[in-house]
Amino acid sequence: MFTGCKQSSQTSNNSALSSDVASKVYVAPGEYDEFYAFVSGGFSGQLSVYGLPSGRLLKVIPVFSQDAEKGYGYNEETIPMLNTSFGFIPWDDAHHPELSQTDGETDGRWVFINGNNTPRIARIDLSTFETAEIIEIPNSGGNHSSPFTTENTEYVVAGTRFAVPYPQKDMSIKEYKGNFKGALTFIDVEKESGHMEVAFQVLMPGFNYDLAHSGKGKSHGWTFFTTYNTEESNTLLEVGASQNDKDYIAAINWKKAEEYIAEGKFKTIPANYAHNIYDEKTHVATSEMKKEVRVLDPAECPGLVYFLPTPKSPHGVDVDPTGEYIVGNGKLSADLTVHSFTKVLQAIENKSFDGEAYGIPILKMDEIVAGIVEQPGLGPLHTEFDGKGNAYTTFFISSEVVKWKVGTWEVIDRIPSYYSVGHLMIPGGDSKKPEGKYLVALNKITKDRYLPTGPELNHSAQLYDISGDKMELLLDFPTIGEPHYAQGISAGKVMSKSKKFYPIDENEHPHATKSESDVKVVREGNIVRIYMTAIRSHLNPDNIEGVKVGDKVYFHLTNLEQDWDVPHGFSVMGAQNAELLVMPGQTETLYWEPKQEGVYPFYCTDFCSALHQEMQGYVRVSPANSDVPVKWAMGDD
Ligand code: RUQ
Ligand code: CUA
């Protein structure tokens, strides 16, 4: 391979890359990227979409946090999306995007992502790139091992990171051990619509459940969760949760769970959790509170759960594309332990148990280990696969990605990351059919990689070429929030389904205005509803009178455009709210309480046409006791 001059005085310290690297990531103006990357926003609560290999930011999809730019969580239609059992929650911490799969392969229909803090799972529709549904996870605390999918998206799973009283109640924290519980939740995903329902929970001991992955191929029907704090320590976990030599990977046989459910072996436990759905026809979200959940107790359901001993607080658990190998990334261990699913089944059959924990059999470790990758690095966190028999593991402490061979367990290559890599992502790298080619490292620390921006620097992703024997660093690009995890998919699987606008004749919003001849202003007591339309380049009506101080005013704005990429925005002076950003064919509502009399301008906020600056109007606000009649107009009408 041609390697150019490695260093010149003009380049900065770290840019020792070969000269053809630029061409590998260069996507010419007007050209499309080869892959979509869905990157979690971490503490931003959102999901960002990048193109690969360019690293260009394509969109930020609001999910768990209000987004003033798009009006998400501010407009009346999407406020219910953020409803929970704790009421309206404007923020969350989003960790793991997970693409839907069919037959173990990413299918480009949906991407799921977890909310950690107030346990939830969201489903984003990849035809619209909008959050379509959010379901709260009952009786959980810290929804971290989530939302990993099964082979045909039968379920997305959610494991509680923190054990909590089950169901929640007032009790002494000192009574944690044996009394707090960990719920592992299986959320059913309806095949056609994608609608989620909590199917059942498995009531586990009060360990911490860190990450998960479902089996595939021969291990289809099982899901694996890592545990730490099997010591059940409730204070100073940095010491207390690192005592045991081994923690466990909990293997859940969910097909067995389905049998137990069918036999009625579950308990119904009271619960309180929100289920929020955005309806694409009405353009309105609704929130419903669910009141119970079905629970399976492993002690009463033999064969449902086994513990696979795994050294030292395993973080990620990753299943290779064949479904045979289960990698436990023991973050405090010197070695990487890989279990064999075939051996797990044999050990179960032979009852090769090493005792039990809370009625759950512990398999004998030396009977289930397939191999050990010896001393590959320090602080292994996550592993993905390239579909060519290689695995790639991130090492947080030694700040590197290590490539090793599945089956022989030998280390083949290693490359530094800048710095402190957490997750990594290979498009399809946790599915049956990895798409190989690229690897993205998602780094926790950025310092000195970009121009300084004060004490905080954006986190960083790094793109590596993995098509050859040696990994090659191609590109750094900053990301939004903490790019916790990501999923990638070849663009063609998503692009062809991408919606360009919402057909106006299918708009079933209760306050839609489908033609300019229908615009109106209606007073019902102190509620004023303004049925407004937007089309290049006017808002109709644009002169409104008869609004009074103390009224509750709803601007129901319908965008009449039927063309790709022509949103209109809307804002009114003094609104204690965000703007609206209304997609073609869509209706959105801005709520406004006028506080002072006067005449207030409103305008379109999205530069939509040559006459965008003319897209404006006035609303007159009269004193509360005035008798100015309701009137509206635009032009001469
Ligand atoms: S975890 S850095 Cu929140 Cu996915 Cu491993
Ligand atoms: Cu519509 Cu600017």
Tell how far CA 483 is from the center of its chain.
Answer: 11
Hey, which residues does 356 pair with through a beta bridge? 361
Q: Which atom of ligand 1 is the closest one to the Cα of 396?
A: 2
pLDDT-based confidence at residue 17 (cuts at 50, 70, 90): low
Q: Is the CB of 422 under 6 A from ligand 1?
A: yes
Average pLDDT score over residue span 563-588: 97
Cα of 211 from ligand 1 centre, angstroms: 8
Let me know: does 535 contact 514? Beta carbons within 8 Å. Answer: no
> d(Cα 163, Cα 153) in Å, to the nearest integer?
26
* Cα angle value 306/312/314 (rounded, 5°): 60
The closest ligand to the CA of 617 turns out to be: 2
| Start and end residues for every CATH 2.130.10.10 domain found in the chain | 42-495
Q: Which atom of ligand 1 is the closest one to the Cα of 210?
A: 1
Average pLDDT score over residue span 97-122: 98
Q: Is the CB of 444 under 6 A from ligand 1?
A: no
The mean pLDDT of the chain is 95
Residues 6+ apart with CB under 8 A from 284: 77, 278, 509, 510
Let me know: does 95 contact 425? Beta carbons within 8 Å. Answer: no
Q: Is the CB of 421 under 6 A from ligand 1?
A: no
Residue 526: predicted pLDDT: 97
Q: Which atom of ligand 1 is the closest one to the Cα of 381?
A: 5
* Cα angle value 214/219/224 (rounded, 5°): 35
Cα of 637 from ligand 1 centre, angstroms: 60
The CA-atom distances, in angstroms, between 373 and each of 192, 337, 366, 405 are 41, 7, 15, 9
Sequence letter at residue 22: A
The closest ligand to the CA of 566 turns out to be: 2
Cα of 39 from ligand 1 centre, angstroms: 13
pLDDT at 102 over 80: yes
The CA-atom distances, in angstroms, between 219 and each of 314, 317, 320, 368, 411 are 20, 14, 10, 14, 25
Q: Is 606 left (phi over 0), alpha (psi -120 to 50) or beta?
A: beta
527-535 and 552-559 strand pairing: parallel
Q: What is the pTM of this model?
A: 0.96
pLDDT-based confidence at residue 20 (cuts at 50, 70, 90): confident
> d(Cα 224, Cα 146) in Å, to the nearest integer?
11
Q: Whose CA is nearest to atom 2 of ligand 1?
A: 422
pLDDT at 523 over 60: yes
Cα of 204 from ligand 1 centre, angstroms: 21
pLDDT at 341 over 60: yes
Q: Is the CB of 315 under 6 A from ligand 1?
A: yes
Residue 637: predicted pLDDT: 59
Average pLDDT score over residue span 89-116: 98
Q: Whose CA is nearest to atom 3 of ligand 1?
A: 95
> d(Cα 123, Cα 134) in Å, to the nearest integer?
6
| Start and end residues for every CATH 2.60.40.420 domain found in the chain | 504-633
Cα of 557 from ligand 2 centre, angstroms: 12
Top-level CATH class of 504-633? mainly beta
Cα of 485 from ligand 1 centre, angstroms: 7
The closest ligand to the CA of 604 turns out to be: 2
Average pLDDT score over residue span 405-426: 97
Q: Whose CA is nearest to atom 1 of ligand 2?
A: 568
Residue 373: predicted pLDDT: 97
Q: Which atom of ligand 2 is the closest one to the Cα of 536?
A: 1
pLDDT at 137 over 60: yes
> d(Cα 260, Cα 270) in Å, to the nearest integer?
19
pLDDT-based confidence at residue 148 (cuts at 50, 70, 90): very high
Query: The tokens of 618 are what?
Result: 């006035």
pLDDT-based confidence at residue 52 (cuts at 50, 70, 90): very high
> d(Cα 116, Cα 103) in Å, to the nearest integer?
28
Residue 334: predicted pLDDT: 86
pLDDT-based confidence at residue 490 (cuts at 50, 70, 90): very high
Q: Which atom of ligand 1 is the closest one to the Cα of 316?
A: 5
Tell how far CA 406 is from the center of its chain.
Answer: 29
Let me know: does 94 contact 42? Beta carbons within 8 Å. Answer: yes
Element (DSSP H or E) covering residue 260: helix 254-262
Q: Is the CB of 423 under 6 A from ligand 1?
A: yes
Q: Which atom of ligand 2 is the closest one to the Cα of 568?
A: 1
pLDDT at 14 over 90: no
Cα of 207 from ligand 1 centre, angstroms: 17
The closest ligand to the CA of 608 turns out to be: 2
pLDDT at 19 over 80: no
pLDDT at 5 over 80: no
Q: Which of 39, 95, 145, 459 has the most ligand 1 atoms within 8 A of CB, as the residue to mutate?
A: 95
Q: Which atom of ligand 1 is the closest one to the Cα of 144?
A: 3
Cα of 542 from ligand 1 centre, angstroms: 50
Query: The tokens of 587 are what?
Result: 């209706």
pLDDT at 153 over 80: yes
Element (DSSP H or E) covering residue 375: none
Query: The tokens of 550 are what?
Result: 């103390």
Q: Which atom of ligand 1 is the closest one to the Cα of 95?
A: 3
Cα of 519 from ligand 2 centre, angstroms: 18
Average pLDDT score over residue span 176-193: 97
Hey, which residues does 183 pair with through a beta bridge? 203
Would you call 374 helix, strand, or coil by DSSP? coil
Tell me which residues have their CB closer than 6 angstroms to ligand 2: 534, 568, 604, 606-608, 612, 615
pLDDT-based confidence at residue 16 (cuts at 50, 70, 90): low
Cα of 534 from ligand 1 centre, angstroms: 44
The closest ligand to the CA of 482 turns out to be: 1
pLDDT digits (tens, 9 = 90+) for 159-181: 999 999 998 999 999 999 999 99
Cα of 606 from ligand 2 centre, angstroms: 5
Q: Which atom of ligand 2 is the closest one to the Cα of 607?
A: 2
Second CATH level (architecture) for the domain 42-495? 7 Propeller (2.130)
pLDDT-based confidence at residue 15 (cuts at 50, 70, 90): low
Q: Which atom of ligand 2 is the closest one to the Cα of 609?
A: 2
> d(Cα 35, Cα 19) in Å, to the nearest integer?
23
Cα of 571 from ligand 2 centre, angstroms: 11
* Cα angle value 565/602/630 (rounded, 5°): 120
Q: Is the CB of 213 under 6 A from ligand 1?
A: no
pLDDT digits (tens, 9 = 90+) for 436-451: 999 999 999 998 999 9
> d(Cα 66, Cα 69) in Å, to the nearest integer?
9
Tell how far CA 427 is from the center of its chain.
Answer: 16
Query: The tokens of 554 are what?
Result: 């709803």
Cα of 569 from ligand 2 centre, angstroms: 6
Let me know: does 516 contact 557? Beta carbons within 8 Å. Answer: no
Average pLDDT score over residue span 283-305: 98
Would you call 463 helix, strand, or coil by DSSP? strand
Q: Which atom of ligand 2 is the closest one to the Cα of 534?
A: 1
Element (DSSP H or E) covering residue 559: strand 552-559
Let me know: does 400 contact 417? Beta carbons within 8 Å. Answer: yes
